[in-house]
Structure 1
Amino acid sequence: MQERRVVNDTGLVGFFNRVYSVMGSGLLLTAAISYLLGTVFYNQYANFVANHTFMFYILLFLPLFLSMGVNSRRAQANAGYAGLMFYLISACYGTTFTVILIQYQSSIVAISFLTTAVIFLTMSVVGRITKQDLSRAGVIATSALIGVILLSVINFFMQSSGLQLILSYAILVIFIVLTAFDTQKLKTIYMSANQEGGYVVNTNTLAIQGALALYLDFLNIFLVVLRLFGGSSSRD
């Protein structure tokens, strides 16, 4: 019995290493594309956004459809396909987030990224080691996110800076909770995978699906922290 637990713990460490490796490579791809488009190819990028607005919006919403591919039956059968979808998502965000990042000084972006990394790693560790079931917290956070999105749409027309600040802090708290929840959920699924009465999953695909969930948590925390730290700061 003790041997089986040790084997599971060892496998769990390897599993999360794959998750963080895929997630990290996705973030690196996003950052590299944003950096190149915001510096080396800035003029070409600015012309593309100005002259191909429709294509830009396609790239903006394309990750929503690609994420379905990561979680599809085909992805479950073929981890390579899931990986391709994940990296396409990372590339799309790298392209569209450049519009946001070029508004801020590089020092603000760097500080925001490091702060996000600390927050993310802390909550991911909490999700892995806590014995408390975070399912209820995850459901509440997801429900709250829907409400925040609706309020954000309303505030788009109201243009209330006070409400925007409240929404930013709300989003930050929500994704902090979701980081711990998603990590614990991954741990639970992995430990039950392919066991009698448990989930039957392709753990390589599960690692990519988990990487996507945590990648999105990281990006959302980063964008809020960037907004809070940056304020009116810009490159101008």
Structure 2
Amino acid sequence: MANWNDPQSRQGFGASPSLDGRADGRASYDMGLRRHMLSIYNYMASGVLLSGIVAMLFANSGMAMQMIASPVRWLVMLAPLGFVFAISGGANRFQESTLKMLYWGFCVVMGLSLSTIFLVFTASSIATTFFATAAAFAGLSLYGYTTKKDLSGFGTFLIMGLVGILVAMLINLFVGSTVLQLAISVLGVLIFAGLTAYDTQMLKNQYYHLRGTEFVGKAVILGALSLYLDFINMFQFLLSFLGQRN
């Protein structure tokens, strides 16, 4: 989800930007916004594709199976989190090129981490769940982009729900309840579905303050990372109860 700091002052979500009532200014703004959001979606989709390719190649090579049986698995599992912290925390310090490099590095290590799903679930169920997630993501993101409703009020609720899921997942590591796991999966899908719409609207509204600044290029990478995380988490939670096991 998008949680990076806006270097400019923000206007309320859902508010219409003031462009001095000029039709040419409105058209120019809309064109710039479309280019900005398209860049975010392109980076996000390319990142998901890269992760998927890496995951399949790593699993088919047999290295994923070897990784599970070695301590390296912990490094691979935690590496994506380190990249997320580096990108989010270094947004104001790093150059745009550095953020891009970190983003692609994150997508690669995320692919290594995701490779284990090919050892657990059938390829057909993974593909089916992926396309179902893609369709849901597209619809939710479109809703967040086009709706006039202010979604900012859902942010705190969604974050609280996300924290609750993390706590429940930690508890279930010791309990091992299948019922609790199913509940976590269902709630996870709902929360990241909400975050998809919420983050899309936030990214759209942030462009008003970022356009014309040097930060706009960095915002593309940060926005792509936010939507990537929404997509991947929704996919994993869906797969946990829709996927057919080997």
Whether the TM-score (by the shorter chain) exceeds 0.5 is: yes
**Counterpart-to-counterpart distance in 2, 1:23 and 1:100:** 21
Contact 1:38 1:45 in 2 (8 A): yes
**Counterpart-to-counterpart distance in 2, 1:178 and 1:225:** 15
Structure 1 unaligned blocks of 5 or more: none
Instruction: Give the AA of the match of 1:140.
Output: F
**Counterpart-to-counterpart distance in 2, 1:74 and 1:100:** 31
Q: Secondary structure of the residue that 1:20 maps to in structure 2?
A: helix
Structure 2 unaligned blocks of 5 or more: 1-21
**Cα separation, partners in 2 of 1:194 and 1:29, compared to 1, 3 Å:** closer
- Report the structure, 1 or 2, having the larger helix content: 1
Residue of structure 2 equivalent to 1:49? 68
**Counterpart-to-counterpart distance in 1, 2:98 and 2:87:** 8
Residue of structure 1 equivalent to 2:143? 126
TM normalised by structure 2 equals 0.86
**Counterpart-to-counterpart distance in 2, 1:76 and 1:130:** 34
1:212 to 203, 221, 225: 225
Structure 2 counterparts to residues 104-183 of structure 1, below 5 A: 104-183=121-200
Q: CA RMSD in A?
A: 1.6
**Counterpart-to-counterpart distance in 2, 1:124 and 1:117:** 10
Q: How many residues align?
A: 225
TM normalised by structure 1 equals 0.90
1:5 aligns with 2:26: yes
1:92 aligns with 2:109: yes
1:66 aligns with 2:87: no
**Counterpart-to-counterpart distance in 2, 1:76 and 1:208:** 14
Instruction: Give the AA of the match of 2:222.
Output: Q
Residue of structure 2 equivalent to 1:21? 42
Please say which of residues 142-151 and 185-194 is displaced more in the overlay. 185-194
Residue of structure 2 equivalent to 1:224? 237
Identity across aligned pairs (percent)? Answer: 28
1:191 aligns with 2:198: no
Contact 2:87 2:99 in 1 (8 A): yes
Contact 1:123 1:176 in 2 (8 A): yes
Contact 1:69 1:75 in 2 (8 A): no
Contact 1:67 1:89 in 2 (8 A): yes
Q: By how many angstroms is 1:151 displaced?
A: 1.3
Contact 1:124 1:183 in 2 (8 A): yes
Q: By how many angstroms is 1:47 displaced?
A: 2.3
1:203 aligns with 2:216: yes
